[in-house]
Amino acid sequence: MYRSHILVCAGTNCHSGKSDKFIEYLDEKLLEHKLNEEVKVVKTGCFGLCAFGPVVVVYPEGIFYQMVDQAGIERIFAEHVLKGRIVDDLVYEESKKHGVIEPFEQTDFFRKQVRVALHNCGVIDPEDINEYIAVDGYQALAKVLTTMTPQQVIDEIKASGLRGRGGAGFPTGLKWSFAAAEPAGKKYICCNADEGDPGAFMDRSVLEGDPHVLIEAMAIAAYAVGADEGYKYVRAEYPLAVQRFQKALDDARAMGFLGENILGTGFSFDMHVKLGAGAFVCGEETALLTSIEGNRGEPRPRPPFPAVKGLFGKPTVLNNVETLANIPRIIMEGADWFAGMGTETSKGTKVFALGGNIVNVGLVEVPMGITLREIVEEIGGGIPSGKKFKAAQTGGPSGGCIPAKLLDTGIDYESLAQVGSMMGSGGLIVMDEDSCMVDIAKFYLDFTVDESCGKCAPCRIGTKQLLEILEKITQGQGVMEDLDTLKTLSTHIMENSLCALGQTAPNPVASTLEYFWDEYVEHVVNKKCPAGMCKDLLTYTILPDKCIGCTICARVCPVNAISGKVKEIHTIDEKCIKCGVCVDKCKFDAIIKV
């Protein structure tokens, strides 16, 4: 029985901060002080608070240490572990805001979260199958194999109200029932862990922090639909996730949770890892299946749907990582438990990768129906540097931008669709007052144009035309007719593209046109960028009443566009490349963008 546990985050973010070295150091020191049988070091997955990593948590006190480096871990060992003294200056600041150190679970970032899909992330060692088993791992699989029929499993998932967390929100139980209804024979279970949205890392965190939950969930799905083989499709850019998942597969086979005659029940199921090359279009289910088959990842016309004719022409169920991560807990806790969270039509919780202009960049899991305001102002900690919230984009590059006036919008499938956005896989990018919404739309269009597979003309040609018009506007060459063209073209692309990539690609354009029309007009009519982000519409000017002739601006200018003598007013000439270095370096606020 250990008197203390030291949890060290070993997710990608903290791992890049050398948290693996902390584990080695602690193990050596505990052995040196003969404390290795009293204190246990646990390598965990992501805690979620990525902005403050590397993270170390010491139990039983539950002290959450932030931004730990090598010197910090040495202090934590010397003071906290050996002497029981908390290293106050390394404690997560939000834990101390009321004058005493509170459990980190009670801070604003964690207080409103409900961890279902992320239940074990940051709690167990993802590379130790025994730790997963110790927290009831594989109990759900044992339950369905020994006490439930396949139809009962499907009925339970239907009753839970679980919808696909990868984008459109299709009912999971219903999808399983379609594959189950196909004649007995070869069937497949596939997991989409491709995760191509910029800034998204939800799937990666589950793979790194709780890989066994996905193995267990896929085995349960296989039992429900009558499949005996599965594929995990994951991008090769996730080496740590792939390594941990592969180890989990090997350990699960060795323990009898995969392979022939699982748990002596006569049910057999095994699975493989398929590495993807990082094509965004392979997040679309038919393109993903085409890629697994060894072909170029391109979408197929539907119907037939994968549940009828999918991988290698056989009935196939494809769910994403987050969807599957909910399955074991639904089986163990019951459909009513899961359905008791969220809204009437959007049950359970949703994981978001919270990024952009926000204090608490990280991974959060919240009940469906929570408002965008609660996520941004409470969980997210608000906008840095006292800036104002301007917009948030949900659903990745295919999502819409939600303006400040709709900050109280509920985060659920229907509410987001009503305001022109979407749930998507769970990216949530926050933008402040300095963001140019025309430039934001152009950024996302540039991404989708690059990622289009090119198979259908509306997406291949249409998105490129949208991008060209946006580039024209941000360069000061736009006319009012361009705005009408953007609207018409967006509608055409949405209605005629083959797959969801093209069908949703215009969303950033359509939503910014609706909510930030005046900003577009300012770019087109007055040739100005109100946010000061579009370089072709900017002019840098030195204010005579503030310039003291210190020469700093002239010295830092990379193209020698600033001239003037010491103690004389300086000027900027046409060589200026509008890099903004002079503005950043001026100590007297004498240079402005107009």
Delineate the domains of the chain, giving CATH numbers in brackets. 4-108 (3.40.30.10), 129-339 (3.40.50.11540), 349-432 (3.10.20.600), 437-525 (1.20.1440.230), 539-593 (3.30.70.20)
Residue 200: predicted pLDDT: 83
Alpha helices in 103-198 (DSSP H): 108-111, 129-134, 139-147, 150-160, 172-180
Half-sphere exposure of 411 (CA within 13 A, CB side): 30
Residue 566: predicted pLDDT: 94
Closest CA to 325 of 48, 114, 118: 118
Cβ within 8 Å of residue 321, ≥6 positions away? 191, 192, 193, 195, 202, 203, 206, 207, 214
pTM for the complete prediction?
A: 0.93
Closest CA to 219 of 379, 71, 328: 328
Is 317 in a helix, a strand, or coil?
A: strand
Instruction: Please list the helix, strand and coil fractions of the chain in percent, rounded to the nearest 5, in that order.
Output: 45, 15, 40
In SS3 terms, 3-30 reads as CEEEEEECCHHHHHCCHHHHHHHHHHHH
For the chain, helix (H) and strand (E) counts, in that order, are: 25, 17
> Average pLDDT for consecutive 10-residue bins of the chain (594 residues)?
94 93 97 96 96 96 96 97 96 90 92 96 97 97 98 98 90 98 97 87 94 98 98 94 97 97 97 93 93 95 94 97 98 98 96 95 96 97 95 90 96 93 88 96 95 94 97 96 97 94 93 97 95 91 94 95 94 91 93 88
CB 219 within 8 A of CB 262: yes
Alpha helices in 161-305 (DSSP H): 172-180, 202-209, 211-225, 239-254, 285-292
Per DSSP, what are the bridge partners of residue 220?
none
Q: How far apart are CA 442 and CA 417, in angstroms?
A: 21
CB 585 within 8 A of CB 545: no
